[in-house]
Each structure stands twice: as C-alpha cells, then as structure tokens.
Amino acid sequence: MSLNSLITDWRGRRVWIVGASSGIGEGLATALLARGARVALSARRADALEKMAAAHGEQALAIPLDVTDAAAVAPALLRVLSAWGGVDLVVLCSGTHQPVRAWDLDAGEARRLVDVNINGVFNCLAPVVQQLLQQRAGGVAVVSSVAGYGGLPTALVYGATKAALINIAETLYLDLAPRGINVYMINPGFVKTPLTDRNTFGMPALISVEDAAKAIIVGFECGDFEIHFPKRFTRWLKLLRLLPYRWYFALVHKGTGL
C-alpha cells in the first residue's frame, strides 16, 4: 500500500526544486520539464538557473536562493505562488559534502555543512509547510542520503547531517500525512555529481544523475515514502545496518578499505 498519493500525470504540475543548479536537482528538473511539469528552479548560482529557465520559456522559473538565508525563503516561495497560484511539490535537495576523517575534523567546516544541510532544510520547511497546510494539498520531499543509515569513513559530518534529515522526514510524515500532505524521503546511493567527485575511494554502484532522476520520479509516481536507489546497493546497506556492531564495523572497513 502506498504511503503517499499516486502521481499519474506531470503535465502542468507545479514543482519547486531547491538545489536545481547541478547534480541530482538539475537532473530531476530536466526530467520533470521533459514530462510537462512547470518547474521553479532555485539555488545560489543564478547564471545556471537562468540558462536552464531560458531554454523552457514559461514552463520554468528561475529563483536564485541561498538556503542559509532564512529571510530569503518566504519571498522566493511567494514568487512561485505569484506565478502559478500554488505549489504541488517542493523538493529540497540543496546540500554540500566534504570528506572528513576524525583526525581532520575542523569545527568551523562542520558548522558550515550543518548550516547548509540541516538548517537550510529547516529554513525552507518553515514557510513551505505552512503553505501546503493552507492549500490542504501538495507534498514536500527531503533529499537525504544512504550515508545517513549508519556511520561511514569520511562521512563524519556529512553522514550526521543526512541522518538528521532522515529523522526530519520521518517526523514530517507523522505530522503531515494525516493532514493530506505527501512527504517523501529520498536516499540516494552514489550518484556521479560534482560533490561525489571529491571522494577519493571507490564508489560501488555509482549511477548517473539521469538514472537518479528516473528513480526519484518513479518513487513519486508510486507514492513511496522512502525513495532509495540503486536498490542493488541500498538494500545491502539496509541489511548491514541490522547486524551487530562487531560485524557492521568489520564489514564497513572491509568494504571501503578505509
């Protein structure tokens, strides 16, 4: 049984993607525009957004936004509402990544990652949830990561922020689903993006942003709560997390070589 309502047609659907200038957000925006959705594109890089929007005319709307600026989110949402009269789906995929081992931990860098990956989501959720409740319809998707399933080498800060997002998405569902609001938790495995290009280790089951976008859209259409991919990798991680710590730690060390 689906935990969210099904999506059978993207034509004319109003989607706001926060974090649309590169990576998964850009791939998802491109795929949804091809399916006929109207897509509002937000990120800090105004030039990239304007270029994408210009190629799609009135179907796309460029709205530059820095998610760490809490005061800027409500005006950005208002631009979406002014243009389209409402919003059907908000996808929060802004985020950053920096590999960190315990001996390289820098508190200032950690705060920067937390500010973007966690506080940025809260900054967006505050006005977005109020709008969806007012509409009594629509949905919000939080892009986390399988790095949030359990501790992994190099993910000392990044993994912690993604674990927080998993908890946030679960709690959002408990609060909002009874009120008719769809909530999605997106947990990608390794996707080839400028962020994962920073990794210095082998990334199993690495997929393209195009394949990631397809998996996300299928999850939306099926009404899934958790959308995780590629399943040949993510299912093993879910199973790994069920093991006793002695086995978990040993297998993670063996699997990563770190």
Q: Measure the CA–CA gap between 20 and 85, rounded to whole angstroms.
A: 21
Q: Measure the CA–CA gap between 100 and 198, rounded to whole angstroms.
A: 11
Look at residues 121, 46, 91 and name the one whose alpha carbon lies nearest to residue 213.
Answer: 91
What are 230's two structure tokens? 């590629």
Whether residue 161 contacts residue 114, with contact meaning beta carbons closer than 8 Å, is answered with yes
Please name the residues in contact with 89: beta carbons below 8 A apart, sequence gap of 6 or more.
13, 14, 15, 16, 138, 139, 140, 141, 182, 220
| DSSP assigned state of 67 | T
Q: Measure the CA–CA gap between 2 and 218, rounded to whole angstroms.
A: 13
Q: How far is CA 177 from CA 10, 13, 132, 171, in A?
A: 21, 20, 11, 10
The residue annotated as part of the active site, out of 158, 173, 245, 248, is 158
Whether residue 174 contacts residue 3, with contact meaning beta carbons closer than 8 Å, is answered with no
What are 132's two structure tokens? 């969806």
The verdict on whether 245 is a catalytic residue reads no
Q: Measure the CA–CA gap between 174 and 134, rounded to whole angstroms.
A: 18
Look at residues 146, 141, 213, 145 and name the one whose alpha carbon lies nearest to residue 173.
Answer: 141
Catalytic residue annotation: 158
